[in-house]
Amino acid sequence: MYVFVLDKNKQPLDPCHPARARELLKQERAAVYKRYPFTILIKDRKLEHSVTHLHRVKIDPGSKVTGMTVLQENTARCVFACEITHRGFQIRQSLLSRRQLRRSRRSRKTRYRKARFLNRKRKGGWLPPSLQSRIENILTWVNRLCHLCPISAISQELVKFDLQKLEQPEIQGVDYQRGELFGFEVKQYLLVKWQHQCAYCGIKDVPLQIEHIVARSCGGTNRVSNLTFACQKCNQAKGNQLIAEFLKNKPELLNRILSQAKKPLIDATVVNATRWELYRRLQKTDLSLEVGSGGRTKWNRANQGIDKSHWADSLCVGASTPEKLIIKNIKPLLISAKGHGTRQRCCPDKFGFPKAHAPSSKYFRGFTTGDIVKANIPTGKFAGIYTGRIAIRFRPSFVLHTLEQKFDVHPKYLKTIHKADGYEYK
């Protein structure tokens, strides 16, 4: 992973190799500006006296995890990669819980806030908070990267499944879907729908074949609702049998496959609901914006021979992907959205009755929940040096979350290395 570099006026320069960053820090020509992502500030250099190159941010939006990379276009080198875990489903559950509590309170003969139905209007382009949070997370990190690196362009995976991808405008008739990407779109859709495993035996990490649930010889069609994935052994064992006959001894598996075949993709629905709003918001950055489909992404990744992951998918988004990418020693920064706390002061129990009241202050002894700290504990059961995220209490006993465990720690042993910004890093 390369290190972001800023000049003395905090203007972005080209990222440098970690060895070069260590040398600059050792010579005291640079200072640490930010820990996540790691950024240094050079004290004796200005942007006008330096040579910078064009970089491109590449984004693979997802419903749960979004992959994002920064590519140096002249060298085809990946200089930064991250995977952002969204909290959309957590927001949805919180809103659902609040709605249930309010509804139950209105049904009882107790004090309540009257329901508001006809006195509110939603703005055009309104999205539910659970979907809006995904867009805000992506835009937040695009803006941060633009402040840390000379970004000139953006690549976004706009459509996940485009079954009528046109490589050449003049193609007509049956050749409409038989371009260079023929077959990749359907396969990508089915892989996501069936969790990259055989529908019959559940085996993973083996070559999978497209299987017709109702065989073509028995009147089956090529509609995606009639397609699934099967390993070679299961595919040959089933042949052209009816699925009810093939799985007559496994009724639970039969019901699951038949229900899954017509089940819509929740994750794909989330992506489709937010993709155009994200596209419009990215256009407002005034950077060159390129879009591509999921089939194009997989085709690029297959040609590069790169293992599947969220950040690798983002690196292969769009037609601008070079023929040979340099990704040696790249380890993605794992980012989890945690929010900025809550305004709710009264904490109810599962029945809706108040059980605790949170203080209005968010700081105690200079710390706040979400700060990433370095703990130097001299004695006791947890003696040692730790780095992690804290949750404060309004008494000298905080909770320190590390990668392996969590435990209580006194704030006098803590030193802040990264202030809370709504995200957790690994």
8 Å CB contact between 36 and 114: no
Average of per-residue pLDDT values in the chain: 86
Decide if 238 contacts 214 (C-beta within 8 A): no
118-122, 147-151, 229-233, 274-278: segment of lowest average pLDDT: 118-122
Cα distances (Å, whole numbers) of residue 377 to 15, 142, 369, 384, 408: 35, 37, 19, 5, 11
Contact assessment for residue 149 and residue 70, using Cβ atoms and an 8 Å cutoff: yes
Name the residue with higher pLDDT: 120 or 407: 407
- Among residues of the chain, what percentage have pLDDT more than 70? 90
Per-residue pLDDT at 41 exceeds 70? yes
Report, as an integer, the average pLDDT of 404-425: 93
**Residues 175-188, mean pLDDT to the nearest whole number:** 55
Quick one: pLDDT band at residue 22, thresholds 50, 70, 90? very high
Strand partners, 60: 67
| Confidence band, pLDDT 50/70/90 cuts, at residue 109 | low
Amino acid at 144: R
Domain boundary among 261, 285, 307: 261
Give the separation between CA 174 and CA 154, rounded to whole angstroms. 33
Confidence of residue 169 (pLDDT cuts 50, 70, 90): very low
What confidence tier does 348 reach under pLDDT thresholds 50, 70, 90?
A: confident
Q: Which residue has the higher pLDDT, 359 or 151?
A: 151
Average pLDDT score over residue span 227-244: 89
Q: What is the pLDDT of residue 204?
A: 86
CATH number of the domain within which 187 lies: 1.10.30
Map tokens 């038949």 to a residue: 258
pLDDT at 224: 76
Q: What phi-psi label fits residue 44: left (phi over 0), alpha (psi between -120 and 50 degrees) or beta?
A: alpha
- Work out the pLDDT band at 112, boundaries 50, 70, 90: low
Neighbours of 121 (CB within 10 A): 7
**Res 66: pLDDT:** 95
Per-residue pLDDT at 265: 61
In a domain, 218, yes or no: yes
Q: What range defines the domain where residue 394 resides?
A: 346-425
- What does the pLDDT average to over 206-210? 88
- Tell which residue, 38, 36, 70, has the closest CA to residue 54: 70
DSSP secondary structure code for residue 359 in this structure: -
Residue 59 within any structural domain of the chain: no
In this predicted structure, what is the pLDDT of residue 183? 56
pLDDT in tens, 282-294: 999 989 999 988 8
Is position 268 within any domain?
Answer: no
State the Cα–Cα distance between residues 137 and 340, nearest whole angstrom: 12
Q: 274 vs 70, which has greater pLDDT?
A: 70
pLDDT band at 177 (very low <50, low <70, confident <90, very high): very low
Q: Is residue 129, in this structure, part of any structural domain at all?
A: no
- Judged by DSSP in three states, 328 sits in coil
pLDDT of the residue at 387: 93
Q: Point out the domain boundary residue: 231, 261, 291.
A: 261
- Distance between CA 194 and CA 202 in Å, rounded? 10
Residue 351, in any domain of the structure = yes
pLDDT band per the 50, 70, 90 thresholds, residue 110: low
| Structural domain includes residue 76 | no
**Residue 182 · residue 298 · CB < 8 Å:** no
Among the ranges given (237-241, 247-251, 257-261), the one the predictor scored with the smallest mean pLDDT? 257-261
CATH number at residue 357: 2.30.30
Cβ pair 281, 139 in contact under 8 A: yes
Q: pLDDT confidence of 338, banded at 50, 70, 90? A: very high
To which residue do tokens 């193609």 refer? 171
pLDDT tens for 140-168 read: 999 999 999 999 999 999 875 544 443 34
The residue count for the chain: 426
Residue 118 CA to residue 128 CA, distance in Å, equals 18
Strand 406-409 relative to strand 372-377, pairing = unpaired
Query: What pLDDT is attached to residue 263?
Result: 66
> Quick one: pLDDT at residue 167?
35
Which stretch of 30-34, 159-163, 396-400 has the lowest confidence by average pLDDT? 159-163
Per the listing, tokens 């993605």 go with 332
Please tell me which residue, 175 or 83, carries the higher pLDDT value.
83
pLDDT given for residue 55 in this prediction: 95
Number of domains the chain contains: 3
Q: Quick check: 296 and 318 in contact, CB under 8 A? A: yes
Q: Which residues of 328-337 are buried (b: 16+ CB within 10 A; e: fewer)?
A: eebebbebbb
pLDDT tens digits for range 197-207 = 898 988 888 88
Q: What DSSP designation does 323 have? A: S
* Segment (H or E) for 24: helix 18-26
The CA distance from 141 to 332, in Å, is 14
pLDDT at 255 over 80: yes
- pTM metric for this prediction: 0.77
Calculate what percentage of the chain has a pLDDT beyond 90: 47
Sequence-distant (6+) residues with CB within 8 A of 261 are 213, 225, 226, 228
Rounded distance between C-alpha atoms, residue 54 and residue 199, angstroms: 45
Q: Domain for residue 325, yes or no?
A: no
Residue 161: what pLDDT?
52
The answer to whether residue 277 sits within a structural domain is no
Take residue 353 and report the two structure tokens written for it. 């009755």
Of 261, 279, 309, the position where a domain reaches its end is 261
Is a pLDDT exceeding 50 seen at residue 172? no
